[in-house]
């Protein structure tokens, strides 16, 4: 992968992590919770889970597999299993919430679907611009 691709992956990772962390903080404050009950481990866990998803998505979107949905599925399944494994291992450090696996499935899948939609939109608009002769590839 070239430098531009790595910069894009790091940028996406940083933006998503920031938005998720801010949203989490706002939701806690709205519920009257002024400190994260899970502390710093929660921040590190979020960063690692997000890294798993963004890295898998970034690496697998260029696979020479057709159709595009199959390419996304090839990226999603192992990365979701890796996220579940990480949650299981974090349970060795501290007790897991009763809904930990459901929560990670919902959050991870939602984020992955959002990345897929964004990637499809970018590909669509690039193709449109290329057809109009606006960009050279």
Q: Does the pTM exceed 0.85?
A: no
According to DSSP, residue 37 is labeled T
CA angle 94, 104, 24 (to 5 degrees): 85
pLDDT digits (tens, 9 = 90+) for 48-100: 998 888 888 877 777 888 888 888 888 899 999 999 999 999 999 888 889 98
Closest of 20, 88, 30, 28 to residue 54, by C-alpha = 20
Q: CA-to-CA distance for 46 and 88, rounded, in angstroms? A: 14
Please, which residues have CB within 8 angstroms of residue 103's CB and are 6 or more apart in sequence?
97
Which pLDDT score is estimated for 105?
Answer: 94
């Amino acid at each position: 992968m070239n430098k531009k691709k790595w910069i894009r992956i790091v940028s996406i990772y940083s933006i998503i992590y920031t938005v998720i962390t801010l949203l989490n903080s706002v939701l806690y404050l709205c519920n009257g919770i002024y400190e994260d009950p899970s502390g710093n481990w929660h921040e590190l866990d979020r960063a690692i889970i997000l890294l798993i998803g963004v890295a898998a998505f970034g690496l697998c979107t260029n696979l020479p597999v057709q159709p595009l949905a199959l390419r996304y599925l090839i990226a999603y399944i192992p990365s979701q299993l890796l996220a579940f494994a990480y949650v299981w291992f974090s349970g060795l450090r501290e007790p897991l919430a009763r809904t930990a696996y459901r929560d990670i499935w919902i959050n991870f899948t939602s984020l992955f679907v959002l990345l897929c939609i964004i990637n499809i939109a970018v590909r669509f608009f690039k193709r449109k611009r290329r057809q109009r002769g606006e960009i050279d590839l």
